[in-house]
Chains A and B, each alone.
Chain A
Amino acid sequence: MKVTGTAHLVGDHIDTDAIIPARFLVTTDSAELGANCMEGLEAGWIKRVKGNDILVAGDNFGCGSSREHAPISILGAGIPVVVARSFARIFYRNGFNMGLVLLEVGDDIEKIRDTDQIEVDTATGVIRNLTTGDEIASAPVPPFMQEILDAGGLVDYVKHKLA
């Protein structure tokens, strides 16, 4: 699958309280959570997202709490892909379980600027910056996680095991 959209840059160590503050954790509904995505970073941040946009972050994206509401709110906001220099551990596993595409690119993150047009091939993990022409390869998904992905995600993986 290819996703094309505008890059929205955020900084290093974006924590889960920034992604979705605790006061919004009284629901599990993705649209409701999506409407408040990044509300802890900047009030009204969500207004810049047009749908199918791409979040671009620095180090340790998603640090802090284990709340799965964080990847759900990003997906609910219409953002299917996050590209980061690195991800926090619990967030990485959560995003993966929720079907949010997470691409770790290290220092190549510098090749993406705010509002650049980005195309992501989710099958190969290759990112093309349509504004600058740069092409960026991302770190491959660990093999065991790829197995879960091939089974259709963790929910289907467990469903199969229980059957």
Chain B
Amino acid sequence: MGHTLAEKILQGHTDQEIAGAGQIVQCRVSIVLANDITAPLAIKSFKAMGAKKVFDRDKVALVCDHFTPNKDIDSAEQVKLVREFAEAMGVTHYYECGDVGVEHALLPEKGIVGPGDVVVGADSHTCTYGGLGAFATGMGSTDIGAAMALGETWFKVPPTIRVNITGKPGQYVGGKDYILNLIGRIGVAGALYKALEFSGEAVDNLTVEGRMTMANMAIEAGGKVGLFPVDAKTLAYTAAAGRQGDVAMTPDSDAVYERVIEIDVTSMAPQIACPHLPDNVKPVDETSGLRIHQSVIGSCTNGRIEDMREAASILKGRKVDPKVRCIILPATPAIWKQCMKEGLMEIFMDAGCIVGPPTCGPCLGGHMGILAGGERTVATTNRNFKGRMGSLDSEVFLSNPWVAAASAVAGEIINPAKL
């Protein structure tokens, strides 16, 4: 029997024969990840397990990106704890200072994760690396503490839903719209405990950044992973990140799928997820005219250079509505620098945007853009749960960078084509 991408990758990391969905397998992990919120708990569990050292100092990544630059004394204490652990264990991939970026943008960019890897992270958006063809999934801190100690973890082999995306998208439609559309169709539990595997012409035509945007939100449908085939684009991306030896990968032609979903993007409008769940998805025009107070462009979903370029293409020569806070957070220092080189920073500043450091910050209601009661934001982030970005009486609408930038200019939600 042929293997899906999920089965194929897991098979490369276990001595057990993978027979199909539902089987429990012990797998060796390529990288174990935690951040400034989840690492303190993982370290607590690691110590309670009696572990004295991490299984491989080069295969543990600790990225302090959520509340950094530290927003208060308590978060500073948590980061201090993580830093001291990283020093004691000699962890190679520790990031906190001028080198820190949003973890799921940073690790691919540095070549720390790549095709065929099994990555576990104490962060639900670890699934982002599926865009590179890695079996990458979020877990809790104690599972991550165990994986840091043992270098392995257990998985239940997931059934796979294949999503075949065809057609040519119109202007201002991209990977974010594809994934929002899918979540809108199948719901926030539509892929619960399952793998999503993407294929089709529109997926082939996406950049690797666009694929990571899509894989990032697999968890928003309840999915364990969101996987893309590894093609020449992926290999060019990972080679540029300094990796060697990566190879192309496709699912077997006789792989078994639970079901296949077909999406044609030819006439798809830009999508928007309305409060308070990511599956409350509509074409953007159905929400146009709603006043906004904030627009956030960044995060592990849409904080990469392609996203910055898309935002800048709208903001160039225009002004943000004076009553709107348009907060732009390039996801890594390298993206920040690239924005400067390409003149995007000048566009953002001339438009009246607030440009901040790489941080998860407002996405999870941490800092640098918290909403008051009655306020509404458009955001290129991944979750719009009630109170996610601040007050329980605030509202978050999820969109692509073009829509977020255009709405900041208009002062209300708008289809960029109508700006």
The interface of chain A, by Cβ under 8 A from chain B, is 13, 15, 17-18, 21-23, 25-28, 40-43, 59-60, 63-69, 71-72, 86, 88-90, 93-94, 97-98, 142, 144, 154-155, 157-159, 161-163
Contacts and interface: CB of A to CB of B under 8 A. Distances in A.
Given A63-B188, A158-B49, A159-B49, 18 more contacts: A17-B385, A18-B385, A18-B387, A26-B67, A40-B392, A65-B138, A66-B126, A68-B142, A69-B41, A89-B192, A94-B139, A97-B140, A142-B24, A155-B48, A157-B146, A158-B145, A162-B51, A163-B50
A89 B192 CA distance: 7
A60 B143 contact: no
A66 B124 contact: yes
A86 B187 CA distance: 14
A18 B386 contact: yes
A85 to B, nearest CB: 10
A86 to B, nearest CB: 7
B366 A66 contact: no
6 contacts: A27-B74, A28-B40, A68-B122, A94-B143, A159-B48, A162-B51
B38 A68 contact: yes
Given A155-B45, A158-B51, A159-B49, A144 B154 contact: yes
B37 interface: yes
Interface residues of B, number: 52
Contacts of A90: 124, 138-140, 219
A22 B142 contact: no
B387 A60 contact: no
Contacts of B172: none
B48 A28 contact: no
B11 interface: no
B19 interface: no
Contact of A26 (B78, B139, B385): B78
A26 B140 contact: no
Given A86-B189, A154-B146, A162-B50, A26 B74 contact: yes
A66 B138 contact: yes
B222 A63 contact: yes
B149 A17 contact: no
A25 B126 CA distance: 19
Interface string B277-293: 10000000000000000
Contact of B383 (A64, A71, A98, A155): A64
Nearest to B221: A63
B72 interface: yes
A32 to B, nearest CB: 10
Contacts of A42: 392
Contacts of B117: none
A66 B38 contact: yes
B289 to A, nearest CB: 28
Listed residue (A89, A93, A142) with the most chain B CB atoms within 10 angstroms of its CB = A89
Interface string B348-383: 000000000000000011100000000000000001
Nearest to A92: B193
A60 B140 contact: no
B75 interface: yes
B316 interface: no
A28 B40 CA distance: 7
Nearest to A95: B140
A59 to B, nearest CB: 6
Contacts of A159: 48-50
A66 B142 contact: no
B10 to A, nearest CB: 15
Contact of A67 (B37, B67, B78, B154): B37
Nearest to A70: B140
Contacts of A43: 392
Nearest to A94: B140
Nearest to A143: B24
A89 to B, nearest CB: 5
Given A22-B366, A162-B149, A13 B140 contact: no
Contacts of B143: 93-94, 97, 154
Contacts of A155: 45, 48-49, 142
B337 interface: no
A13 B192 contact: no
B189 A28 contact: no
Interface string B172-194: 00000000000000001100110
Contacts of A23: 365-366
A98 B142 contact: yes
B141 interface: yes
A162 B387 contact: no
Interface string B22-45: 001000000000000110110011
